[in-house]
Structure 1
Amino acid sequence: MLRTIFGKNGTETPEPVKADIEGSVPDWLQGTLLRNGPGLFSLGDRTYNHWFDGMALIHSYTFKDGEVFYRSKFLRSKTYKKNTTANRIVVSEFGTMIYPDPCQNIFSRMFTHLCNAIPDFTDNNLINIIRYGKDYYASAEVNYINQIDPETLDTVGRANYRNYIALNLATAHPHYDEHGNTYNMGTSIMSFGGPKYVIFMVPSNTSGKEGHLALENMKQVCSVPCRSSLFPSYFHSFGMTENYIIFVEQPFKLDLLRLATAYFRGINWGTCLKFDQEDETVIHLINRTTGKAVSTKFYTDALVIFHHINAYEEEGHVVFDMITYKDSNLYDMFYLDNMARESEDFTKTQEKWSPPVCQRFVLPLDIEKDTPVDSNLVKLRDTTATAVLQKDKSVYCQPDTLLVGLELPGINYKFNSRKYRYFYGSRVEWSPHPNKIGKLDIVTRKCVEWTEEECYPSEPVFVASPGAVEEDDGVILSSVVSLNPEKPPFMLVLDAKSFTELARASISSTVHMDLHGLFVPQQDPQ
């Protein structure tokens, strides 16, 4: 039953559809919520194996004068065009490897094998929407991004990071500073001197209009050598404070030799990620201005992370929060066969699925030379996180657990890189099917929730009220789908402070479950 909403082919709604409103959408809420996620899972007689393989479907919810309009379009990537032209899946994705037609002759098949030894990844950008300069791009974790028009959702351009900077992989979760500049990072696999992690910045005033891509003005902030030349760390996001970049080099690693030979071995790229539970997790702290890493080695136990929540500096410490796992089984949970299972099935086998844990780490910035070994260097009073000095002058960090069972975190982004109190997320416990959204008060450690039977809300997005001073003065937006055909999909609008429902905008079209997105405020007329 669950596969009917999580693994079923979606359809486009290319023209705006006016939603039916119950309740009242605040008049001040003016702009468009862009959402991205997988929406097409089979063509012809072929079906993808994994939910993260489905071809990207871009959604928009436009809020104007108390009304809501919905539209959606498939991303017209090269991958989409090749697949739809052939009416079958012909481009490999992370969890689905596609092989040449068996009727091809042996020479053609050998040539294809050689071309795939160093893979040119798909441009099926299904994870998030990124703003670079004045432009918006659908993104995944590869070297390609596709530019979209945020109003029409048309695919208007395609960019390859490698044309501007040596990157094979890049995150879909950048940061934006107070000036509108975009910071992001990626991995350079084929680089002189071995693989490196590269952090870069795209200025806020650049645009892709008239053939000039925003990426043309990107600047490299720094690079960090990988600890292992054959096993670079996988990462999905990173942290940023006023003065520092936080990069967590986790023991969830990409096996480069396995990646290069995946085609020959008959395995998908997803199997090239391996978690080494015997290894440690190293935390890199990099000065945003100088590009130089702090010399102290900070480390913690083996863990897996996908999403950072927020980070800030306080009284000589860097504080950062993220969602951690004790293993790497989360990716396996999203194979379509697993997603078709009911939540009760996951409960029975919960020892296999590690729950998300919201944890706080604290790094001391100034360590005096005469500090005794085994001293806890954390002086903050509102956390139990520790950072203990070792004999070799490294610092072993242990986190403070904030909550278990919240993922896809979001904050009031005006508090990004600042001390904050609240974050919002999807409540996921022992299945991949979120049926609640929550708001955590970090001070009280209390979580309030919104839930409704047979409903599955997407990642909550915070939009601040005009002139808001209090951190939770605003609304939460979440796209909700249902198993019940009598319940149409709707955009949920919650009061962020009380977590009570203000409105729901029901859509008379098919809406598919999505992943991440971005709210684009309405621009004031010039």
Structure 2
Amino acid sequence: MLKTLFGKNGTESPEPVKAEIEGVVPDWLQGTLLRNGPGMFSVGDKTYNHWFDGMALIHSYTFSDGDVFYRSKFLRSDTYKKNMEANRIVVSEFGTMIYPDPCKNIFSRMFTHLCNAIPDFTDNNLINIIRYGKDYYASAEVNYINQIDPETLETVGRANYRKYIALNLATAHPHYDEQGNTYNMGTSILSFGGPKYVIFKVPANASDKQGGLALKKLKQVCSVPCRSRLYPSYFHSFGMTENYIIFVEQPFKLDLLKLSTAYFRGINWGTCLKYDKEDETLIHLINRTTGKAVSTKFYTDALVMFHHINAYEDEGHVVFDMITYKDSNLYDMFYLENMMKDTDDFIRSHKLWSPPVCQRFVLPLDVDKDTPVGSNMVKLTDTTATAVIQKDKSIYCQPDTLLVGLELPGINYKFNSQKYRYFYGSRVEWSPHPNKIGKLDIVTRKCVEWTGEECYPSEPVFVASPGAVEEDDGVILSSVVSLNPERPPFMLVLDAKSFKELARASISSSVHMDLHGLFVPREDRQ
């Protein structure tokens, strides 16, 4: 059954499709929810191995005066164009390595082999939508991003980070400050002196009237040397407070030697990731203004994490919440052969998958070197997280567990980098397939849920009500698909405070499961 949901090619709806509304969509909800995710898994007689390899399908849900309009288009990346022209998959992805056509001559094959010794990654940007300046880009975790028109979903250009900053990989989860500046970070694999993690900023005024690329005004904030020259940490996101960047250097690592020889070994790039459960996790705290790292060494036990939730400063501490795993099996679970297992098979094999754990870490900013060894430096009373001083004056951090079984977290972004109370996410209790939406109250530690029969909701997105003062005054939006072919896909609108369903906008068109996105308010909304 899951094969029809996760392995089937999606189709485009390039013209707006008006949804059928049950309930009432608030009149104040004006704007467009952009979504991104894999949508094409086979071309000709070739099929991708991994769900994260599928070619990007961009979706939009436009809310206008109580109505909802849906459209979708495949991202016209260079990868898409090459695959469609050849009528087969000719560009390698992280879970699928492609080799030269055997009909090519020996010189052509040799050139392809040499090019793949140092990978120039795909531009199939299927993970998220990023705003730089006033421009919107489909993004993944590679050096390429593709600019899209948020209204028509047309692909209008491609940018390469490497033209503006030394980066081979970059996250698809940036941060935006109150001024509209965008902060992001990535890895420079081939840096002089060894690989580095690089944090950069794109100013709010980066877009110009001539349509020039926003990346032209990119500025590096700082760089952090990798603790290992051959095994830089993999990371999917990072944290940010008013004054600091939080970067978690986890022992889920990229094997550079294996990566550079993957093509010759006949393995895909995804297998070049390895988890060293015997290693520790380092936590870097970097001043956003000076670009200098705090000298104190903060560390915790080995873990794997993909998504930060939020971070803030509180009475001389940096508090940050993220979703952690005890192993790296989650990536393997998304190979299509695993994704297409029946629900019962997933339940029987649940031991192969560790559930997501929402955890809070606390870092003390003022560390007195005369403090006795073994002292807990956390003085906050609303958490059980600890930060214990060691003999070498490093700080060993133990987290406070907030909840088990919530992923794809979202918050009221007006509270990003501030003390907050609520976050929302996809409930994943027995498999990586979400089947509920949850809202966690961090103060009471109570989670309320929305559940729909045979429903698979996407990442929940919070949109605040006009003039909202309370943190949860707004709506939650989620695109919902189903295993049941008789049940049409729909856009779900929940009251964020009560978690009651306000409306569902049913789409008379094919809609595919997506990953991430963002809401773009209508320009005339105050």
Please indicate, yes or no, whether the TM-score normalized by the shorter chain is above 0.5: yes
* 2:206–2:217 CA contact under 8 A, matched in 1: yes
> How many angstroms apart in 2 are the aligned matches of 1:485 and 1:398?
46
Matches within 5 A, 1:26-37: 26-37=26-37
Deviations 1:218-253 (A, max 9, x none): 110000000001100000000000000000000000
> How many angstroms apart in 2 are the aligned matches of 1:525 and 1:260?
49
Structure 2 segments unaligned to the other structure (5+ residues): none
Matched, 1:93 2:93: yes
Q: CA deviation at 1:209?
A: 4.9
**Other-structure match for 2:68:** 68
The count of aligned residue pairs is: 526
Q: CA deviation at 1:352?
A: 1.2
Q: CA deviation at 1:16?
A: 0.3
Matched, 1:470 2:477: no
* 2:30–2:525 CA contact under 8 A, matched in 1: no
**Other-structure match for 1:490:** 490
Q: CA deviation at 1:411?
A: 0.1
- Residue 57 of structure 2 aligns to which amino acid in structure 1? L
Identity %: 88
Deviations 1:263-283 (A, max 9, x none): 000000000000000100000
Helix, strand or coil: the match of 1:420? coil
> How many angstroms apart in 1 are the aligned matches of 2:391 and 2:173?
36
> How many angstroms apart in 2 are the aligned matches of 1:503 and 1:377?
47
Q: CA deviation at 1:453?
A: 1.1
**Other-structure match for 1:500:** 500
When the two chains are superposed, the root-mean-square deviation of aligned CA atoms in Å is 1.0
Q: CA deviation at 1:211?
A: 4.4
Matched, 1:230 2:230: yes
Deviations 1:414-440 (A, max 9, x none): 000000000000011231211101000
* 1:492–1:503 CA contact under 8 A, matched in 2: yes
**Other-structure match for 2:310:** 310
Structure 1 segments unaligned to the other structure (5+ residues): none
Q: CA deviation at 1:139?
A: 0.1
* 1:343–1:433 CA contact under 8 A, matched in 2: no
Matches within 5 A, 1:329-344: 329-344=329-344
Helix, strand or coil: the match of 2:107? helix
- Residue 46 of structure 1 aligns to which amino acid in structure 2? K
> How many angstroms apart in 2 are the aligned matches of 1:349 and 1:61?
36
**Other-structure match for 2:327:** 327
> How many angstroms apart in 2 are the aligned matches of 1:209 and 1:68?
30
**Other-structure match for 2:300:** 300
**Other-structure match for 2:376:** 376
- Residue 250 of structure 1 aligns to which amino acid in structure 2? Q
**Other-structure match for 1:115:** 115
> How many angstroms apart in 2 are the aligned matches of 1:461 and 1:410?
6
Matches within 5 A, 1:26-425: 26-207=26-207, 209-425=209-425
> How many angstroms apart in 1 are the aligned matches of 2:335 and 2:211?
39
Q: CA deviation at 1:142?
A: 0.1
> How many angstroms apart in 1 are the aligned matches of 2:213 and 2:109?
36
Q: CA deviation at 1:378?
A: 0.4
Q: CA deviation at 1:208?
A: 5.7
> How many angstroms apart in 2 are the aligned matches of 1:465 and 1:159?
35
> How many angstroms apart in 2 are the aligned matches of 1:437 and 1:334?
20
* 1:221–1:288 CA contact under 8 A, matched in 2: yes
Please give the TM-score of this superposition, normalised by the length of structure 2: 0.99
Helix, strand or coil: the match of 2:210? helix
* 2:369–2:393 CA contact under 8 A, matched in 1: no
Please give the TM-score of this superposition, normalised by the length of structure 1: 0.99
> How many angstroms apart in 1 are the aligned matches of 2:344 and 2:116?
40
**Other-structure match for 1:3:** 3
Distance verdict in 2 for CA 1:510–1:381, change over 3 Å: same
* 1:35–1:128 CA contact under 8 A, matched in 2: yes
- Residue 502 of structure 2 aligns to which amino acid in structure 1? L
> How many angstroms apart in 1 are the aligned matches of 2:358 and 2:103?
51
